[in-house]
Amino acid sequence: MDSLKELLGFAVLTGPLWLILILLPVSFWIAVKLAKRFKPRGIRFVGGLSIFLLLIFLPFADEIAGRIYLSHLCATEAGVKVYQTVEIPAEYWDVDGKPKFLNARGVLSKEVLGDRFKWHSVSEPYTNWFIRIDKKRWLLQDGGSKRYLGEKVTFIRYYGWLN
């Protein structure tokens, strides 16, 4: 039974490689057939090579473009924006001056702060054609004054058709 699981795992993990191994000779064959239509020999080689590269990278174009665009969005638009600061009493700090209200990952601890601050999540589609990316905004609201204190903007990319 274990060997069957291992064989099935191997088949699942190497599945995309079989698609690429099939794509290589098919792309080469199409490139050779189309390159024969070019008259000068130098242009025939460059044209055939261009067609071959186009056919190889076309199925992965959304992955490549999505990765580049997501990196651009994260570098230019993502991040934290502070609208207003709040005075927090001394009881929320330890003797070393470290905040008690943040856990090890830097997230607000509800056990310490109670219902004083609330996070609201808003997700909206950013792009939904060829590449699907959603913009997620986390808004921090003061429970007493109901004012927004800041926001954290992140982007989520949904991988291409191949995945």
User: Is residue 137 a contact partner of residue 151, using CB atoms and an 8 Å limit?
Assistant: yes
- Put simply, whether the predicted model's pTM sits higher than 0.85 gets the answer no
User: Is residue 125 a contact partner of residue 49, using CB atoms and an 8 Å limit?
Assistant: no
User: Is residue 109 a contact partner of residue 102, using CB atoms and an 8 Å limit?
Assistant: yes
Distance from the first to the final alpha carbon of the chain: 28
Q: Given the DSSP bridges, would you call strands 79-82 and 148-158 parallel, antiparallel or unpaired?
A: antiparallel
Each residue's pLDDT, cut to its tens digit, for the chain (163 residues) gives: 677 888 888 887 887 777 788 888 999 999 888 888 888 877 888 888 899 999 888 888 888 888 899 999 999 999 999 998 888 778 888 888 888 878 777 777 777 777 778 888 889 988 877 788 899 999 988 887 888 889 999 999 887 665 5
